[in-house]
Amino acid sequence: MAKNKISDLRDHLFETLEALKDTEKPMEIERARAISTVAKTIIDTAKVELEAYELLGEGEPAAFFPEADDKAPKAARMKAMLRGMQ
């Protein structure tokens, strides 16, 4: 099971925003860009993992998305898979 969750990433991004806005000691722009790039990669990866889970019903979405713990009925997943094949 993953140590970090999407909610942790959200917290880090808000911390970055707050650090950028700090008038006394703002975060360096390049560091903020690096954080943003890594965050986008994590988010894109999570989207692909969730799409794969929704289509195939395999894997563990709860690792990234605890709220998505297999709530989709099998028929809905099959429908989504078929739509993706068109």
The pLDDT mean for the chain works out to 76
Using CB atoms within 10 Å of the CB of residue 53, give its burial: 0 to 12 exposed, 13 to 18 middle, 19+ buried.
buried
Length of the chain: 86
In a domain, 1, yes or no: no
Identify which has the larger pLDDT, 81 or 5.
Answer: 5
- Give the model confidence (pLDDT) of 35-56 as tens digits: 999 999 988 887 887 777 777 7
The range of the structural domain enclosing residue 72 comes to 6-85
CB atoms under 10 Å from CB of 49, counted, come to 16
Number of domains in the chain: 1
